[in-house]
Amino acid sequence: GKRYKVYKILFAIPSGLSETGKLWWFGVAYVLWDTVYTLTDVPAYSMLNTMTDSLEERNLLLSVNRVFSGAGYLLCVVVMPLLIGRSYSFAVIVLSLLSAATMVPLVLFCKERNYDPAQDEGDFSFRQMFEYLGKNKYLLTYYGGYMATDALKTSAATTLFVSFFLFGSELYSIVLNLLGMVPGVIAAMLMPTILKKLDKF
């Protein structure tokens, strides 16, 4: 609910604001959206560890998750430029309703089968989390690479910009985004087979 309302606010900047006002609106709305997104995304991903003890089942669930995430991204890549042609607000409303509808089954029907409250170690402080991160070189490497990747990830915005301002239509972004998705989709489909041959690291 809140995640999608904030998403709509992000794309509903009042046209009467000054450039500085628009920048502040976007900055605050983006931080709010990203915070709410994280609050819903982290539990959904961590739930995999409470669904099964089997490493093979977890890998399979992660692979299926990637395939469906890719399918959702594919839908956005194809449909969003068409909707944006009508209006940004309309496109965001449609995407928000669709996203909310796909989250409902997870909330209502997903069950934790591998969780023992007796073994719960309790809450962790931010300080404890960062201390642990500093001691775990594999996790530190992973998050370092993840942050570097996200910091350099400008392709989505650049593709739409180039399509609209150089080619005169946002529809050109569909082809470029589809081409960029192909390696990820193939990798997700092959992941269960790859993990049978190689260690998870």
Q: For 30-45, how does the pLDDT look when each residue is reduced to its tens digit (9 = 90+)?
A: 888 888 878 777 777 7
Supply the DSSP symbol for 146: H
**Using CA atoms, how far apart are residues 93 and 145, in angstroms rounded to an integer?**
33
Q: What is the pLDDT of residue 4?
A: 46
Share of the chain above pLDDT 70, in %: 86
Output the pLDDT for position 24: 92
- The pLDDT of residue 184 is above 50: yes
pLDDT band, very low/low/confident/very high, at 114 (cuts 50, 70, 90): low
- Per-residue CA distances from 170 to 7, 26, 35, 78, 81 (Å): 21, 21, 29, 11, 6
Most confident option among 26-40, 44-58, 100-114, 160-174? 26-40
The pair of structure tokens assigned to 72 is 């959702």
Give the residue with greater pLDDT, 25 vs 96.
25
pLDDT tens sequence across 134-157: 888 888 898 888 888 888 877 767
Burial class (CB in 10 A: 0-12, 13-18, 19+), 159: buried
Instruction: Examine the pLDDT at 77 and tell me if it is beyond 70.
Output: yes
Distance CA 41, CA 35 (A): 10
Q: How far apart are CA 175 and CA 198, in angstroms?
A: 33
Q: Give the mean model confidence (pLDDT) for residues 64-73.
A: 78
Residue 2 reports pLDDT greater than 60: no
Lowest-confidence pick of 27-31, 32-36, 107-111: 107-111
CA distance 150 to 83: 26
Mean pLDDT over 174-182 rounds to 78
Cβ(52)–Cβ(174) below 8 Å: no
Structure pTM? 0.51
